Structure 1
Amino acid sequence: MFLASISPPATEPITLAEAKAHLRVDLTDDDALITALIVAARQYAESETGRSLITQSWRLVLDGFPGSCGPAGTAGPIPSLLPGNAILLDQAPVQSITSIQYLDTGGAWQTLPETEWVAELQSAPARITPAFGKTWPAALPQIGSVKVEFVAGYGEDAAVPQGIKIWMLLRLGALYENREEVSAMRQGKIEALPYVDRLLDAYRVPWI
């Protein structure tokens, strides 16, 4: 299985003005650099938490529908209480399911009607199972035979939790002040602030 971005977020959780205020930068010389660092900080936060911050679209590609061997769509350990036929979507919060498609045994792509499945989007990761009394259809037994497209994210920048935004600003400051792979110190000792990465703990999606 793999997760592919279909459409990236149209905006970032932190504006250029907010970033420059945090960095105490008044000139415009580094605007392009700071803008790129905002994107890098957001991507890092999303990778660390398993969440999408601003609304964006994703495609989960599976090698078949999950069965009794366990849920599909996540790389980590699976709690035994989850349905064995569940498709899990790691990118939280999931706003909506766009489509579920599969290759039938004749090699043609089919779209699974919404009446055939149910989605529980409040949990993280979100879950999709067949509707009551239904089963997943027979998909062609080959890699990439099932595709789930969905929309994830908190919405606009105002909806992104402040803890994640503060972490991004702190990460942004470190990236801006240290632009090389290594830092040569003439004196003193650098120590990481222990609370910084703990800011993300409350937002990490389990089992990623």
Structure 2
Amino acid sequence: MGGTMVAILVTPPQAEPVTREEAKLHARIDGTAEDAKVDALITAARLDVESRTGRVLVTQGWRIVRDGPPAGGIVRLAPGPVQSVDTVTVYGADGAAEVVPAGDYLVDVASTPGRLKLSSGRFWGARALNGLEIDMTCGYGDPADVPASLKQAVLMLVSYWYEQREAASVGAVPAHVASGVTALTAPYRMPRLA
């Protein structure tokens, strides 16, 4: 079995990894006229850093939807870092949902990416399409818990996009900025899931 896997954002972060004030100080922006623009750039920069690393920065809720359990019963969990697996639901061939008791799976949040091991043979009756859902809490925690280099990458992108409005409209990042962002985010890049 196995098939495709999709990760869906269920609960967005309640805060950004850097504050408007931090971003304005870094980009040397005075006054409040550009606050809405700065806020939008912070969100765009966070999403860029999350995309580059395969990690989410501030606590978020995510759902993995799979066609069924993979061979061996081990599901790789992304995005990372995984704080907890909150619910595992299996949909039978008849479409009926069954919440799996926590004792029927093991969670490894120490690995990168995290892993979930289903009890062997227990779930092979899942329906062929979207038969397995895993709800999890991901991220480093609060903004204070986000690694400094990832915050710096967000600030670098905000500053560049603020100064280069045309580049921001298309999400462009020139080589000199990209190399700085890559250097800051490289240690955090998660291996791509197969």
Contact 1:65 / 1:136 at 8 angstroms: preserved in 2?
A: no
Q: 2:32 aligns with which of 28, 34, 47?
A: 28
Question: Is 2:86 the partner of 1:98?
Answer: yes
Q: How far, CA to CA, are the matches of 2:122 and 2:137 in structure 1?
A: 22
Deviation at 1:51, TM superposition (A): 0.5
Deviation at 1:91, TM superposition (A): 1.2
Equivalences for residues 152-171 of structure 1 within 5 A? 152-171=138-157
Unaligned runs of 5+ in 1: 68-83, 183-189
Aligned-partner SS, 1:141: coil
- Code of the residue aligned with 2:109 in structure 1: it is L
Question: Is 2:117 the partner of 1:129?
Answer: yes
- Code of the residue aligned with 1:4 in structure 2: it is I
Structure with bigger gyration radius: 1
Q: How far, CA to CA, are the matches of 1:136 and 1:125 in structure 2?
A: 23
Deviation at 1:191, TM superposition (A): 5.7
Q: 1:61 aligns with which of 47, 58, 65?
A: 65
Deviation at 1:86, TM superposition (A): 0.8
Name the counterpart of 1:141. Answer: 127
- Code of the residue aligned with 2:129 in structure 1: it is I
The 4+ residue runs of structure 1 with deviation greater than 2 A are: 138-142, 193-196
Deviation at 1:40, TM superposition (A): 0.5
Alignment TM-score, normalising by the size of structure 2: 0.89
1:60-103: CA deviations, max 9, x gaps?
00001111xxxxxxxxxxxxxxxx32101121110110111011
- Code of the residue aligned with 1:31 in structure 2: it is D
Taking structure 1 as reference, are residues 196 and 137 closer, same or farther at Cα in structure 2, changes over 3 Å only? Answer: closer
1:98-119: CA deviations, max 9, x gaps?
1110111332000111111000
Q: 1:192 aligns with which of 172, 176, 184?
A: 176
Contact 1:41 / 1:171 at 8 angstroms: preserved in 2?
A: yes
Aligned-partner SS, 2:45: helix
Q: How far, CA to CA, are the matches of 1:52 and 1:42 in structure 2?
A: 8
Question: Is 2:44 the partner of 1:40?
Answer: yes
Taking structure 1 as reference, are residues 144 and 28 closer, same or farther at Cα in structure 2, changes over 3 Å only? Answer: same
Alignment TM-score, normalising by the size of structure 1: 0.83
Identity %: 35
C-alpha RMSD of the superposition: 1.6
Q: 2:165 aligns with which of 176, 179, 182?
A: 179
Q: How far, CA to CA, are the matches of 2:31 and 2:37 in structure 1?
A: 12
